[in-house]
Structure formats: C-alpha cells, structure tokens
Structure 1
Amino acid sequence: MASTLLILAAAVLASAQAAKKDPKGSTIHFAALLPGNVNRFPFAFQKVLPALELAVANVTAVGGPLHGREIQVHHSNSECSTAIAMNHMFNFYIKKQAHVFFGPCCDYAGAPVARQLHYWKLPMLTPGAIALDFAEKKENFFDLVTRVGSSVNSLLELLLAVS
C-alpha cells in the first residue's frame, strides 16, 4: 500500500510535467537512480524495482486512479557515485526518459543530482538525502526533493524527545 501511494504521488508530479509538453496523456517516465549492490545497500534496484512495477500496475489498472495512462520505469545503477549518478541523470534527461526521479539514495550522489533537477524543475523522491543540508537548503536547491525516509533532523528530534 505504501509503495502504491508513493507511486501515485510521483505519478501526479510526473503527470504535471508530461502534461506541459503533451496534454493528451503522454507516457509518464520515471527514472530510478539506485545502487546495484544488494549486499551493501538496502535500496538496491533489485529490491526496489519490483515494488515500483507492482505499484505502477496498481495505479494504472482498471479502476486505478491513472487507468489508461502509460508509466514507464527506467533505471540505472548509480553505484552511489556522484559522477555515475550525474551521468545517468543527464542521459535520462537527454533521452526524455524522466518526468520524476527516484533516488539517488546516497547523499553524495543525491546532492548534485537534486541541485541540477532544481534548474530543470523535475521532482526527486528518495529514501536518502538524510544530511542536514537537504533540510537547511530546501528553498534554494532542494525544493523539489521529497525525502521519504528518516533524516538527521528527525533522528535528532527523536533523541531529544526521549532524553
């Protein structure tokens, strides 16, 4: 259920981007920049893609909120590398395969991607982006980043609340 709601939220954001270019219901493109090492990263694409595909199927099914819309999920292995994530981000953008980005999940890879997406006016959803800068610089560069996981801020608030 949570993954379906996340996909629905992303699809709404992406639909708005797609509708600007083609109001007749063009394909919605999700670009997933996720690490590929299952043993090292909890958000490896091998774990996340099945959930994304299931959620897409749910929201586009008969009776679903986006019935009749086509959603394509494109993915690449970011390797949690700044350079690799940026390269894949540019490739998705140039190929017009991104209305919304999932990831990167690692802060070092996520920060430059989010900064560039700010200029392209494309949203980014990530379970990462836990560093304090993502909250402190939200209005300047990270205005289109939606963090769906915990952050340094929320962990600090929890510790202060229980102490």
Structure 2
Amino acid sequence: MPRSGFPALAPSTVPAFCFLHFLLLCPSCARQSPPANRNLTLAVVLPESNLRYAWSWPRVAPALRMAVERAQGELRLLPGYQVELAFLTSELDGACSEYVAPLNAVDLRLYRDPDVLFGPGCVYPAASVARFATHWRLPLITAGALAFGFKQDDDHYNTTVRTGPTAIKLGEFVSHLHEHFNWSSRAALVYHDVKMDDRPHYFIIEGVFLALDKEFNNLTVRYQMYPEDEDVGSVVQFIRSNGRVIYICGPLDMLHRIMLQAHREELTGGDYVFFYVDVFAESLRGDVNREAKKPWQSNQAQEKELREAFKRLPLLR
C-alpha cells in the first residue's frame, strides 16, 4: 500500500534509507567531531542465503554499504568515525531460526558492542531479539516483524523501528475500505498456515481480522484456514455462507483454485467482493509458467476462466 508523498522503496532498501534518515536527524552523532578513529558499529542479524525473504542479507547488504558510502561521502556525515558492519546469520537449515537469531544477537552485543542493530525480519526471531534490544536500549531497525503483536505501546518493543509493511497498517487500510464503501454486513477470511518458519500468511491476515472485529460492531467476521486436503469446494461453501467481502491470503496456486471454483459457482458476478492480500507482491513475480505482473497466467487449460475471475480481484499490498 504505497503512501502518497513517499517514493516506493523495496523492503531491502528501506533499512538503508532509515539509517540515512537517522543520521540526518541526529546532529550529535552525525556532525559533531568525535575523537579520531572512533568506531560506529552496525550489527546485522538476517537470513544469510535464503533469498525468499525480502530482508535476507544478500538483498540488504548492498543497500547498507551504499548508505554508509553516501553518508561519509556525498553527505559528509560521521566525520572521524570508522563505520563497521558486523553480520551474523539468523538462519538455520535455510529458514529463519528463533534459536540462532537471539544467540547471535547476544554474541554481537558482547563482542562487538554495536550502536544500532538491523534485523531480524521474521516474526519469531524478531520478537526475541527486539526484547533484548529494548533491554540494551539499542535501536533495532527491521523491514519485517509485521505481526500485530509488535505494537508501539508495548514496552517490550519500544526501541524497535519497523520500516516495512505491518499488519496494523494493513488492518487500518481495510477498515477505511469498509467505512468508505459501507461494507457493514459480513466479511470472510481464508488463509494458508503452516505452523513452522515465519507463518507469514497467518500474521498478515491477523491484522485484517483484528481490525474488522474491533472497529465494526455490526460486522460479522468469520475465518477459515485453507484445508490441508485442498478441498476447494468446502472453502467456496464457507465463502457463500459467511461472507460478502472476502479476503484471501496464501500462495498463488491456492488463490487460483479458490477463484476458479468461485467463478464456476457464479460468485464473481458482483455479489461478492474478493481481495487477495499479498503485502510483498510475491504474486507479481514471474516464474516458468507466467510472466511477471500477470498472476492469473498458468500452464493449465483453465487460464481463460482464471483471467475472467481475476478481473474481480483487487490486490492488497
């Protein structure tokens, strides 16, 4: 959901933008001349190799290095400082680890004494490290940690700065949609969930559910997890019985199945409003079966039907 007046930034570049913004607004640490050769250490705890994460180290590292170069060169900030990047992984066996991340954050704190911490982005590792950062009174900047639980008024996370999309802001946006269009009857949420790794779809749709359930007294909000047996018929029956405004959050192939069945059962004619919740625009990335920015494409014979179904499908991101 781009905000007017601000450039659209990729999640991997936002931490670097935030670092520069921090320096520009902090004259005491950016422009006053400290003792010569003083170190400024930027500690980083992010996934080391898995590029599926928008905040993985290979994506973030170039942006951070460019930010440091610009701060010390073109902007002439940090006179007399030697800026160092200290990286340790938050990844174990190719996935975010709530075990590895806090241990490495503690090691960085003990042995490198950082001035600011970047990451983690995944929800469970970020929660653990953010609590440590609050205890250390250390700023933590992350493009992830999108869960509703990272509330600004929570003392556990009061040094955490989230620069990416959040479940809270997504919920606020959905509330504005319902208020603007007077959608005050029934809403239904369908989401995919695997109780391992980062559970991204669960934490994204959580913000929508909590916002609608809190803000609208007369709105009936129901939810259903996408069944493991991929029984699309039961999902469409749930939609028919419980919703008029539908929010779907899950992998693209799940969306294809639901929309195809909904179209065949004539739910895409205007009586129902469908939204696909995809905050990192993963559905717009191309693959071997479809072009980029064309998520309705597939190598199946039903592509024509999917195209018609997708005409009724806004994208929330």
1:24 is matched with which residue? 35
Contact 2:145/2:162 (8 A) holds in 1: yes
SS in structure 1 of the partner of residue 157 of structure 2: coil
Contact 2:15/2:141 (8 A) holds in 1: no
Matched, 1:48 2:60: yes
| RMSD of aligned Cα (Å) | 2.4
1:149 pairs with 147, 164, 181, which one? Answer: 164
Structure 1, unaligned stretches of length 5 or more? Answer: none
Alpha-carbon distance in structure 1 between the residues aligned to 2:49 and 2:14 = 24
The TM-score with structure 1 as length reference comes to 0.84
Higher relative contact order by CA 8 Å / sep ≥ 6: 1 or 2?
1
Which residue identity does 1:34 align to in structure 2? L
| CA deviations over 1:67-114 (Å, ceiling 9, x no partner) | 442211111220121110011101111112411110000110000111
- Give the drift of 1:140: 1.2
SS in structure 2 of the partner of residue 135 of structure 1: coil
Contact 2:44/2:118 (8 A) holds in 1: yes
- Give the drift of 1:4: 5.0
User: Relative to structure 2, which stretch is displaced further, 58-67 or 88-97?
Assistant: 58-67
Task: Identify the structure with the greater helix proportion.
Answer: 1
Aligned length: 156
Structure 1 residues 3-152: aligned runs within 5 Å: 5-11=17-23, 24=35, 26-61=38-73, 63-79=75-91, 80-135=96-151, 138-152=153-167
Structure 2, unaligned stretches of length 5 or more? Answer: 1-12, 179-317
Percent identical among aligned pairs is 27
The TM-score with structure 2 as length reference comes to 0.45
Alpha-carbon distance in structure 1 between the residues aligned to 2:75 and 2:20 = 14
- Give the drift of 1:2: 5.8
2:175 is matched with which residue? 160
